[in-house]
Chains A and B, each alone.
Chain A
Amino acid sequence: MPVYKPTAIPASEITPRQLFNDRRRFMQIAAGASLAALLPPSVWAADNKLAGVKNPAYTVPEELTPYKDVTSYNNFYEFGTGKDDPAKNAGSLKTRPWTVTVEGEVKKPQVFDLDTLMKMAAIEERVYRLRCVEAWSMVVPWLGFSLAELIKQVEPTGKAKFVEFISLNDPSQMPGQQTSVLAWPYREGLRIDEAMHPLTLLTFGLYGELLPNQNGAPIRVVVPWKYGFKSAKSIVRIRFTEQQPVTSWMLAGPGEYGFYSNVNPTVDHARWSQAKERRIGEFLRRKTLMFNGYEQEVAALYTGMDLTANF
């Protein structure tokens, strides 16, 4: 009986293990991806989910701006100066691992890991108006907790008068930083009482999920009574200082972008009116509200201050 004798397979024909595994993984990913494509986003984004308890005290009774607009119409110059650039280019941002260094005039300077930070307090959902200095606005359901929670943990010293927020500086992840439209890293700042105000939100998510990269992932602040650029995105460093910080936009246009930049319909920007705004999705402009509608909550922070001089 003839015995079948398999021919020896030359070693050169055997797929190396590494490649074999890679291919296997590729097939798995491809299969997963094609399956995911068939499912509604709510299912495959499951691991992006972020739950928050609704905070009715901080929920404006206005129609939400659709998720699609919130995540496709952004000013985030780190990814380009066009409104649709961030959604197109922010895929290169790596949001894990991520740490935030808290330093300066504090008794307990620390480097926080993002996951630790997110567990520091209960995540709330707050629906805020967002008013851009360019005279358009949105209504966004953010997820996070008051920045005050973090500030209390690090115990500011008596000299801490201001808080500076410094965003990631990495041109390989943020292609917009390859040009010098703004002084990188992006810097923003608040007075300490503004930073401590309960409205100032340390933000990790929106619309029930982790922040999409183009919205400032993985951690940003939202200061709803100030123009949008005051709300720093992709923060890596929070510094407590005695001197008022100089922000990127102050450097870019000292006569146009002040340190305070409170939403104020009676103080025009040097080149355009701030009296009205276009709510994204609406046809006619609506009147802009003092402090973006948060006058009751925040006006007391500025009693006796000349808001035209301190624009």
Chain B
Amino acid sequence: MALKNLSNQTLAWLKRGVFLLALVPLGNLAVAGFTDGLGANPIEKITRSTGYWTLTLLLITLSITPLRKLSGWQWPVRLRRMLGLFAFFYACLHFSMYLVVDQFFDWEGIVKDIVKRPYITVGFPAFLLMLPMAITSSDGMIRRLGGKRWRQLHRLAYLCAIGGVVHYWWLVKKDLTNPITFALLLSVLFGLRLFYVAKDAIKRRRNADTGTAAR
């Protein structure tokens, strides 16, 4: 299939395209900011938009492996690091909005929030979990850690997404439509992953069985 393997050139173009696409939410905010389009409460609007895109990009990043398994395509994996780093990028913006603009370095208020507001109690560690993944995203770090340990570390992404969904669930006042949608998507991704883990395990066992039989 033509889609299965892309030429390096096509992939380079694809990367540029995805890069630009991932900047669209930020661009939209910037345009709205200059055209008085952020509404009456711009700070809330930006905080919410960047939070939304953090979670969305995180889920897109997590869908790469299932997509590869389902389709047999190899190239999406080559986009994964960029997508993950964009999720981190939006998380940094999101956190900065809270830290600088919303609370204005009111450390006492922030500590209180982390302890007392359940949605921040889960949001904060979810954000912190992204740090080790971002730090170990370079080729050098992957080599230094070794593929296996690197993969184990980056399973944190699931924990982070779960934290993000719970955070969203707990912060909305009443309308749970969006948090439920994210929760469903995340469970599908998680389900697919478990399915493939189970399938691989069965295959391995069977291989092992046939191995003994041949002996």
Q: Which residues of A contact B (CB under 8 A)?
A: 65, 68-69, 72-73, 77, 81, 83-84, 134, 136, 181-182, 252-253, 268, 271-273, 275-276, 278, 280-281, 283-285
Contacts and interface: CB of A to CB of B under 8 A. Distances in A.
Contact of A77 (B41, B44, B112, B174): B174
Interface string B37-75: 001110110000000000000000000000000000000
A306 to B, nearest CB: 20
Given A271-B117, A272-B117, A278-B44, 20 more contacts: A65-B40, A73-B41, A77-B175, A81-B175, A83-B41, A84-B39, A136-B41, A136-B44, A182-B174, A271-B118, A271-B119, A273-B109, A273-B113, A273-B117, A276-B109, A278-B41, A278-B43, A280-B40, A285-B102, A285-B104
Contact of A181 (B39, B116, B117, B175): B175
B174 A252 contact: yes
Task: State which size class the interface on B falls in.
Answer: 20 to 34
A285 B110 CA distance: 13
Interface in B162-205: 170-171, 173-175
A73 B117 contact: no
B101 A283 contact: yes
A69 B45 CA distance: 14
Interface of B: 39-41, 43-44, 101-104, 109, 112-113, 116-119, 170-171, 173-175
B113 A81 contact: no
A275 B108 CA distance: 12
Nearest to A281: B40
A68 B39 CA distance: 9
A284 B40 contact: no
Nearest to A248: B174
A256 to B, nearest CB: 8
B40 to A, nearest CB: 3
Most chain B CB within 10 A, of A83, A272, A284, is at A272
The 5 closest A-B pairs by CB, nearest first: A73-B40, A69-B40, A81-B175, A280-B40, A181-B174
Main SS class of interface, A: loop
A136 B112 CA distance: 19
Contacts of B175: 77, 81, 181
A182 B175 CA distance: 9
Contact of B41 (A68, A273, A280): A280
Nearest to A80: B175
A234 to B, nearest CB: 19
Contacts of A253: 174
A273 B170 contact: no
Given A181-B175, A182-B174, A252-B174, A273 B39 contact: no
Nearest to A65: B40
Contacts of B170: 271
Nearest to B118: A271
B39 A83 contact: yes
A83 B39 CA distance: 9
A276 B103 CA distance: 10
Contacts of A273: 109, 112-113, 116-117
Contacts of B117: 271-273
Given A283-B101, A284-B104, A271 B171 contact: yes
A135 to B, nearest CB: 10
Contacts of A77: 174-175
10 contacts: A65-B40, A68-B40, A73-B39, A73-B41, A77-B175, A134-B173, A272-B117, A273-B109, A278-B43, A278-B44
Q: Which of B40, B103, B116, B170 has the most CB of A within 10 A?
A: B40
A138 to B, nearest CB: 8
